[in-house]
Amino acid sequence: MRWVLAAAFGLSLAGVAATASAQPKGEARAAIVQKLVDCRKIADGAARLACYDDTAAALDQAEAKGDIVVVDRDQARKVRRQAFGFSLPSISLFEKGETQEELENVSGVVQAARQNGMGQWIIKLEDGAVWAQIDSNEVSRTPKPGMPVKIRRASLGSFLMTVGNQRAFRARRTE
């Protein structure tokens, strides 16, 4: 078991070392991670191992308490997809180590739909996202649960929503 843990830890260190050079300028790395990386600089093998052991224990404890959150690339992509339609400057945290992947569109399924007092549609998708119509385009068929939805980026930061095979209307993400 100890060898399995050591191998896993070694692989994670290799990943940390590989991404160290990909660290964007101006973005500070978490102190505990930097301390872990700095252990490599210790020449004495026993002292280096002790440094790794102490820092790994501190990292494990920080993650357990929620002071550090470890996210893999697939989880980061999922967060970016869930945030589609929101203007979040801190979302760049989830783009480290990969090219800027700009989402141009997302698809979903209507969970619920209703009209507001001005006759515009408020549509909740099965993933929990809520979009509100912001133009006066008429929607010919009432959006119903189970209908497919496609939302795509439009000009000037706006979005176009298509429900079923109907004509698109401008929408903005509210939740």
Domain ranges of the chain: 2-65, 72-100, 105-173
170: amino acid identity, one letter: R
- Residues 76/94, Cβ–Cβ less than 8 Å: yes
pLDDT, one tens digit per residue, over 88-136 is: 555 455 455 544 455 677 888 989 989 898 888 898 988 888 988 888 8
Q: Which pLDDT belongs to residue 29?
A: 76
For residues 14 and 147, which has the higher predicted lDDT (pLDDT)? 147
Strand ranges (E), the chain? 105-115, 121-125, 130-133, 148-153, 159-163, 169-173
What are 132's strand-pairing partners?
122, 172
* Alpha carbon distance 58, 13 (integer Å): 15
pLDDT, one tens digit per residue, over 30-44 is: 888 888 899 999 999
Of 65, 41, 71, 35, nearest to 53 (Cα)?
35
Q: Is the pLDDT reported for residue 15 higher than 60?
A: no
**Averaged pLDDT of the chain:** 75
Q: Which pLDDT belongs to residue 117?
A: 86
- Mean pLDDT for 45-55 is 92
